[in-house]
Chain A
Amino acid sequence: MEKISVIIDGRTFEAVKDQCVLEVAHENGIYIPSLCYNSEVASSGGSCRVCLVEAHQGGRMRLVTSCNYPVREGLEIKTDTPLVQRIRRGVLELLMARVPDSEVIREMAAAEGVTGVRFRRDEGENERYKCIACAMCTNVCAEVVGVSAIAMVNRGADKKPATPYYKPSDVCIGCGACAYACPTGAITMTEKDGVRRIWDRDFNMVTCSVCGTPYIPEAQVDWIVRTTGKDRSFFDKCPDHR
């Protein structure tokens, strides 16, 4: 791994070549807000635009998303200039207009100095609830889980994750990874009487033989057994009692 040095907000740090700016910054205690990036999900990032920073290189400056901008020797990053603040606030104001119900967005916006929304609230806001269409859920489902039960549908402001034809998906395993990964908590997953409900489908849960807690959908156990060859009896007990 080739080591290079990069300047962030006037301080020089050592980093691995091609590592993303956001990670180098966070490793060194420099906070850059972000929503749509998760280091475990290869194709995440680049969509919410909250993590924009100034990248200076070769006499040229541009705003780049720190979550997917690779660090190279000679790169200087500025995370808190008037330009960065202005654009970041603008992005957060648009997100607030889009999903006024999201506490995550509201708190992040407030921290960046955005207090109100001057623009008309979006008409689709109710249906949209808290989703910022970042595609984290669909990326997790495809790349981490490997089932692709959901995908982004439509385009423009109507873009959203959905199961095929908005019908309960046959391939969904009810694992809930999408809901865990969602940065704004926009995906509803409920559990009641040993049944989990997500994406309009009910999943019967396997109950831990020790504590009696329903902890994993049967469909997910099937999936793991099928893809990894793991013994089914392994799932008799929840992780706490194995």
Chain B
Amino acid sequence: MGAINSIEQLEAYRQELEDAAVTDLPTVMICFGTGCQANGARPVAEAFTNIIKEQGLELNVNIGIKTTGCHGYCENGPLVALQPQGILYLKVEPDDVPEIVEESIKGGRIVERLIYEDKTTSEMIAEYSEIPFYKHQHRIALRNIGAIDPTNIDDYFLAGGYVGLVKALGMKPDDIITEVENSGLRGRGGGGFPTGRKWRSCVAVDSDVRYVLCNGDEGDPGAFMDRSIMEGDPHTVIEGMIIGAIALGAHTGYIYVRDEYPLAVKNLSSALEAAREKGLLGEDILGSGFDFDIRISRGGGAFVCGESSALMRSVGGDLGEPRAKYIRSVERGLYDKPTVLNNVETWANVPEIIVKGAEWYASLGTEDSKGTKVFSLVGKVNNTGLVEVPMGISIRELVENIGGGILNGKKFKAVQTGGPSGGCIPERMADLPIDFDSLTEAGSMMGSGGIIVMDEDTCMVDVAKYFINFLVEESCGKCTPCRDGLPRMLDLLTDITEGRGEEEHVAMLEELCDLLTWGALCGLGTSAANPVLSTIEYFRDEYDAHIRDKKCPAGVCKALITYSIDPEACTGCGLCIKKCPQECITGERKEAHEIDTTKCIKCGICRDVCTFDAVRIS
């Protein structure tokens, strides 16, 4: 069908779709997120299509195959879920497909070897919703992801899509803003600025033209919340933006997305096209008389372009450099017009807030941080991936219940939150609730939601160096403290990790941190000190060990460690001799081997290949 010209028509159309949908239709849901596609989801989907065609199952049993957005549990991909049973199979390969069809689809049995095994309890769990990784989640922004086909707008309609828009069209713009204000929604991109207040201050500015923007320039290392939303449920972002546009009286919107997210660009583009065809974008939306359209602006992938003023310049075709925000972008933003910029996840929350009401949303989370937050949980935990939990959950709950604890039974050391602008929080503070203010108080920040879990084998000085190096690469170079201060910080951190550290280096680092925090132009610079300051505060002993004892306690910094073979543990199997790229391990068969430390490049291959744990670092 073509354009939908009224709310009544939309509801009739939705009813048609619902009537046509068979509720207990067995459906194979194959995750087509970037992670699962990289792990080989496409051949798996082809295998399903072929076998169903071959066996003529489509004639006997009606089977649907649906490629969905990211389920979040990326490390176990390709993921295949069977509905309506709600079974989740992990790491599925094309060869597994005949067995799944035979056993589960035809026979109604579970293929044990493909289901989740809890690493701590050894319990086998088949049901999607019972797997600890999913069990403790509360999904709002991610509500449809994994359940719908992002390239099919009808699937979004069936999931209750555009109900929020219908409701918003019947509301006064001012009431929409009030609803968002009352929900307590705060910006999910990192700053945590109250969304409703931002909208309110934008409409307060007198102007004929206003813009709504969506920030999809996610760039924190290890973070992929926004990518998954744009890929897996693009319509929720679009719906959120239309609602925002109605509230603000904007007629043009832009989604700024980095070109390094090709699937996000593709799915967003097709979703925009579909929304336009259905009359949900363009002129006279659903016969309401309101005009609004969205364009995609593809960025080059510069981290700094996630900063609002740099983003707006980049959308406008200028160099992606920040400017002083003495005049806020709600007053003078894109093309010098009042502009509201919200992050992808923020927009994704808006339709549900309108549908279910501010009170419902505000009942979730904490006093000052309402609702849920999507985190990408990565690092040294058993379960990594994308999770959405109510604000206020503790770091420990996230790491232990959802993350399934630390990999290989190692000791939990710290979490890094908020990406390069955030900091490291030590294990002893892991009962801290995750909300905007607690994290900031602890010297880190929420950021866009990256959580990197670190174990005892992580060197905190090295972590600080990693993030400063990232920022050196990503600094736009406009202001002196960031452009010239960060390389000096990197010099000092490099000296410390390479054994040239001196007592005064920590004080010099702190001085540079102070300079960046006070003196830098934009958020990238003013928050750049966090990785260094937080590691100095919580892991000062590690800095001291590097500087005074010339030792890296975690055994990471190459210049400060030596490899040796424990003659007691070594069985003389010769594997390390074979694998050493420097050919610097010697020894007779069945006798203890030895490393020539003068030639050793500390690559760690011997330690990785040794099955007897005989290679030691000191």
Interface, chain A (partner B; CB < 8 A): 46-50, 52, 63-65, 68-70, 83, 86-87, 90-91, 94-95, 97-98, 118-120, 122, 132-133, 135, 151-152, 154-159
Whether B484 is near chain A, meaning CB under 8 Å from some CB there, is: yes
Task: Find the B residue at minimum CB distance from A159.
Answer: B477
A136–chain B nearest beta-carbon distance, Å: 12
- Look across to chain B and name the residue whose beta carbon is closest to the beta carbon of A96: B484
Q: Is the CB of A47 within 8 A of B480?
A: yes
Contact residue among B326, B481, B483, B487 (Cβ-Cβ distance under 8 Å from A133): B483
Q: Interface 1/0s, chain B 463-491, versus A by CB < 8 A? A: 00000000011111111110111111001
Query: In this complex, what residue of B is CB-closest to A50?
Result: B480
A-B residue pairs, 10 tightest by C-beta: A159-B477, A90-B515, A94-B484, A156-B475, A119-B488, A87-B519, A156-B477, A155-B477, A46-B324, A120-B491
Name the residue on B nearest A70 (C-beta).
B326
Q: What CA separation (Å) do A152 and B479 show in the bound complex?
A: 13
Contact A47/B521 with A94-B485, A95-B484 known, Cβ cut-off 8 Å: yes
A49-B519, A87-B515, A90-B519 as given contacts; A156 in contact with B327, CB under 8 Å:
no
A49 touches B319 (CB 8 A): no
Contact indicator B481/A94 (Cβ below 8 Å): yes
Whether B16 is near chain A, meaning CB under 8 Å from some CB there, is no
Most buried by B among A49, A151, A158: A49
Closest A-chain residue to B492, C-beta based?
A119
Interface of B is mostly: helix
Q: Please, how many angstroms separate the alpha-carbon atoms of A65 and B326 in the complex?
A: 10
B302 part of interface (Cβ distance < 8 Å)? yes
Residues of chain B within 8 A of A133, CB atoms compared: 477-478, 483
- Report yes or no: A46 in contact with B479, Cβ–Cβ below 8 A: yes
Please tell me if B514 contacts chain A, counting CB pairs below 8 Å. Answer: yes
Cβ B326 vs Cβ A94 within 8 A: no
Q: B511 to A90, Cβ gap below 8 A?
A: yes
Of B319, B327, B514, which contacts A152 at CB under 8 A?
Answer: B319
Chain B residues with CB under 8 Å of A69's CB are: 324, 326
- Interchain CB contact under 8 A, A94 and B319: no
* Closest CB in chain A relative to B493 CB, distance in Å: 12
Bound Cα distance A63, B326 (Å)? 11
Interface size on B, residues (CB 8 A): 34
The contact of A49 among B472, B473, B479, B488, by CB within 8 Å, is B479
Q: What is the CB-to-nearest-CB distance from A115 to chain B, in angstroms, rounded to a whole number?
A: 16
- A155 cross-chain contacts in B, Cβ below 8 A: 302, 304, 474-477
Q: Does B518 lie at the interface of the complex (its beta carbon under 8 Å from any beta carbon of A)?
A: yes
In the complex, what distance in Å separates the CA atom of A52 from the CA atom of B474? 24
Interface string of B481-512 (1 = CB under 8 A from A): 10111111001100000000000000010011
**CB contact under 8 A between A157 and B508, given known A86-B514, A87-B519, A97-B488:** no
**Cα of A173 to Cα of B239 in the assembled complex, Å:** 51
In the bound complex, how far is the Cα of B477 from the Cα of A135, in angstroms? 10
**What is the bound-complex CA distance between A151 and B477, given in angstroms?**
13
CA distance A70 to B475 in the complex (A): 26
| B484/A122 in contact, CB under 8 A | yes
B250 to chain A, nearest CB (A): 26
CA distance A83 to B517 in the complex (A): 12
B518 and A63 contact, CB distance less than 8 A: yes
**Given B319, B476, B512, B520, which contacts A156 in the complex, CB threshold below 8 Å?**
B476
> What are 25 sample pairs from A and B whose C-beta atoms fall under 8 A apart?
A46-B479, A46-B521, A47-B479, A47-B480, A49-B520, A49-B521, A65-B521, A68-B324, A69-B324, A69-B326, A87-B514, A91-B519, A94-B480, A95-B480, A97-B488, A119-B492, A152-B477, A156-B472, A156-B477, A157-B472, A157-B477, A157-B483, A157-B487, A158-B477, A159-B483
Cα A159 to Cα B474 in complex, Å, equals 12
Please give, as numbers and ranges, the residues of chain B lying within 8 Å of A157 by CB-CB distance: 472, 475, 477, 483-484, 487
B550 at the interface (CB under 8 A from A): no
- A2 to chain B minimum Cβ distance, whole angstroms, is 16
A86 (CB) vs chain B CBs: closest residue: B514
A64-B324, A133-B477, A156-B473 provided; 7 other pairs, C-beta below 8 A? A47-B521, A49-B521, A90-B481, A90-B514, A94-B515, A119-B491, A155-B476
A158 to B331, CA, bound (A): 33
| B569 CB to nearest chain A CB (Å) | 43
Contact A122-B480, Cβ < 8 Å, known A46-B521, A69-B326: no
| Complex Cα–Cα for A217 and B120 (A) | 79
Q: What's the minimum C-beta distance from B514 to chain A, rounded to whole angstroms?
A: 7
Question: Which residues of chain B are within 8 angstroms of A91 by Cβ–Cβ distance?
Answer: 480-481, 515, 519
Q: Contacting B488 at CB < 8 Å: which of A68, A120, A156?
A: A120
Per-residue interface assignment for chain B, residues 81 to 117, with 1 indicating a CB less than 8 Å from any chain A CB and 0 otherwise: 0000000000000000000000000000000000000
B491 neighbours in A (Cβ, 8 Å): 119-120
Q: Shortest beta-carbon distance, A50 to chain B, in Å?
A: 8
Instruction: Report the minimal beta-carbon distance from B419 to chain A, rounded to whole angstroms.
Output: 18
Residues on B with C-beta less than 8 A from A159 are 476-478, 483
Q: List the A side residues contacting B302 at CB < 8 Å.
A: 155
Asked if B200 is an interface residue, CB under 8 A from chain A, the answer is: no
Q: Is B602 an interface residue (CB 8 A)?
A: no
* Docked pose: A69 CA to B491 CA in angstroms: 33
